Amino acid sequence: MSALEQMIWNVLGYSSMPVIFLVGFAGTALVAVAVLKMVGAKATNHK
């Protein structure tokens, strides 16, 4: 494997975990917001 290929695989390998974590976090947040909108949960204002 050439040095360029080795560098590409290293970048892909080390960037995969943060990308998976961030996509999972964003997906979970979007699903939670969608469920709350469907259920009709409302924000409460405490005064």
Q: What pLDDT is stored for residue 4 in this prediction?
A: 95
Residues 6 or more apart from 9 whose CB is under 8 A from it?
1
Segment 26-44, tens digit of pLDDT: 999 999 999 988 888 676 7
Tell whether the model's pLDDT for residue 45 goes beyond 90.
no
Q: What pLDDT is stored for residue 43 in this prediction?
A: 67
**C-alpha distance from residue 6 to each of 1, 19, 27, 33, 45 (Å):** 7, 20, 31, 41, 55
Q: What pLDDT is stored for residue 24 in this prediction?
A: 97
